[in-house]
Amino acid sequence: MIIAPSLLAANYTRLANDVARHRASGAEWLHLDIMDGHFVPNISFGPHLVKALRPLTRVFFDAHLMCSQPEILLPMFAEAGVDQITIHLELGDQVTPLLWKIRSLGCQVGLAVNPPTSIALAQPYLEQIDLLLVMTVNPGFGGQSFIYECLPKVQQAAAWRRERGLDYRIQVDGGINFQTAAECARAGADVFVSGTTLFGQRNLKAAVARMRKAVNSVGSRPSPVAAPARQG
């Protein structure tokens, strides 16, 4: 189980301080929400800022690109030192070349699915990705409420992973608090992005530990069904 606090909910007047809090929190990943003002109706920050933060921590940088034209940004994020780049399934024909480009830049590859988009459209890509991000809010803003209708998508992603013997991670993002994190874990998620619920707490380390406990207590991914023993 991986806890990924989202920098979107950090204090932007004290970013270095919040990266230090993150470093001391025990969270494995730092989630970086990149918004372009076109794919989503908001703008966050870009590769220049990510590059400035990179020397402050060795933690895994998980970049989530909510951008209409990621191809122009991918080399810059790779150069800034991100470990994984997630692009959106809604980009249609662009998806295959983008996944290849991310891989060729030496980064892990993620694919995100928005709430209105059918999870079935992700099926052709499952063998090419390290992570499937099931969005649990419509992206663009932190602090929104978890959309429960997205939970069956997590279950479907976990079922495909089991049935096809694949090992992509299943990430959930949006409205993740201690309770919804546990419900997503039960459905099969193993990476939990949380902005408001984690960075909003004075004691980030305690909040990360509490979320970890919540997701571990429901058990992780269902183990693959053991093959029946051969008779005779």
Residues labelled catalytic = 33, 173
70 binds, among ligand DX5, Zn ion, none (CB under 5 to 8 A by kind): none
Q: 228, 226, 224: which is closest to 162 by C-alpha? A: 224
Residues 6+ apart with CB under 8 A from 61: 29, 30, 32, 50, 54, 81, 82, 83, 84
Quote the CA–CA distance of 170 and 172 in Å, as a whole number: 7
User: How many residues at the interface with ligand DX5, by CB under 6 A?
Assistant: 22
The CA-based dihedral angle spanning residues 65, 40, 29, 124, taken in that order and rounded to the nearest 10 degrees: -60
CA of residue 150 relative to chain centroid, distance: 15
Measured from the CB of residue 209, what is the shortest distance to ligand DX5 in angstroms?
17
Q: Which residue is nearest to ligand DX5 (CB)?
A: 195
Span 1-30, contacts to ligand DX5 by CB under 6 A: 6, 8-9
Measured from the CB of residue 18, what is the shortest distance to ligand DX5 in angstroms?
13
Output 95 or 198, the one with its CB closest to ligand DX5: 198
Measured from the CB of residue 224, what is the shortest distance to Zn ion in angstroms?
29
Q: Which of 21, 64, 153, 161 binds Zn ion (CB under 5 A)?
A: 64
Our finding on whether 36 is near Zn ion (CB under 5 A) is no
Q: Which of 36, 62, 173, 183 binds Zn ion (CB under 5 A)?
A: 173
Contacts to ligand DX5 by CB under 6 A? 6, 8-9, 31, 33, 64, 137, 139-144, 173-176, 193-197
Contacts to Zn ion by CB under 5 A? 33, 64, 173
